[in-house]
Structure 1
Amino acid sequence: MIVAPLTDFGTYLKLHPLFERVEQALITLDFSNPGEKIYIENDKLIAIPSFNKGRNTGEALLESHDRYIDIQICLQGEETFGWADRQTCSSIVKPYNQEKDITFYNDEPSTYFTLKPNQFAIFFPNDCHAPLIGSGLIKKVVFKVKVESNLHNF
């Protein structure tokens, strides 16, 4: 997992060939339609704007993804995340859904952190994360970056 201000995103461009496209999309795309999937590179890079009311810690389940890296960028409000190393999560609530690339867990996060506007978090397949913890409206964009076969060992 990586957490940093958006101004530092360029530091991480070499972690994945499509991260540069994410940086370009942040400058050129409109994220004002929540729930709309914006296909930037077919299914290899997708942006999904999200406008949601924050929820309490008990409502936020840990989740993990096998095929995609999540880059979650806070646009407005404050969003707290729970985090746990996937290897420590064993209490599966909803088994892996291949279509949605998601598994849900009932394990407790080992830590929490909060993103403010213009900050981001990158979650790799070994990161379980519980998003949307907070109060009020949280506006964000989630970039789904497909993991390439030679990049599985994050």
Structure 2
Amino acid sequence: MIYGRLDNLSEVASTLPQTILEGLRFLAETDLVALPEGRNEIDGDRMFAMVQDYEPKPKDEARPEAHKRYIDIQYVAKGTELIGTTALSKAPNVVEDLLEQNDVYFLDGLKEESMLAMSEGTYAVFYPWDVHRPGCSAGEASQVRKIVVKIAMEPAKA
């Protein structure tokens, strides 16, 4: 997992994997307010952005999830929310498997979950081994605009 602020991108760019940097540059160079909700193409199935507008919900109503084929860059363009996170090894129970249809599965029984404060301008990168519980309320009512850049995992090179 990587956590940061988009306004620090120039300082951290040299430390990031190229595909993550490409996704963050998309966020930095795009008029995110003008993007329509739903899927927005970047590079076909290799990289695309999902735009979501919603009000965060109580933590116990948000479902922990993980992916297998895609990395998530979750970026908050407007509003505030919390995202819970833990290692996949600390989330033993799969309660719903939608990997074939939507590259997502939901878990429970989390251990050692940490909460990330996500305010405008922050991003978190979640790899397939990172469980995350997005969309949790930070206490006060807040309308959130989140852009999730989905980056296909590349096969390992021999």
TM-score, length of structure 1 as denominator length: 0.87
Paired position in structure 2 for 1:91: 93
CA–CA separation in structure 1 for the residues paired with 2:33 and 2:152: 20
| Distance change (3 Å), C-alpha of 1:31 and 1:150 | farther
CA–CA separation in structure 2 for the residues paired with 1:53 and 1:122: 21
Contact 1:79 1:115 in 2 (8 A): yes
Contact 1:50 1:141 in 2 (8 A): yes
CA–CA separation in structure 1 for the residues paired with 2:73 and 2:91: 21
Unaligned runs of 5+ residues in structure 2 are: none
Aligned counterpart for 2:131 among listed residues 128, 135, 139? 128
How do 1:71-150 and structure 2 match up within 5 A? 71-108=73-110, 110-134=113-137, 135-150=141-156
CA–CA separation in structure 2 for the residues paired with 1:105 and 1:32: 34
State the SS of the aligned residue for 1:73.
strand
Unaligned runs of 5+ residues in structure 1 are: none
Contact 1:2 1:121 in 2 (8 A): yes
Identity of aligned residues (%): 24
Paired position in structure 1 for 2:3: 3
The count of aligned residue pairs is: 151
TM-score, length of structure 2 as denominator length: 0.85
Per-residue deviation, residues 76-96 of structure 1 (Å, max 9, x unmatched)? 111101111001211111024
| Distance change (3 Å), C-alpha of 1:93 and 1:18 | same
1:118, distance to aligned residue in structure 2 (A): 0.5
Which deviates further from its counterpart, 16-25 or 128-137? 16-25
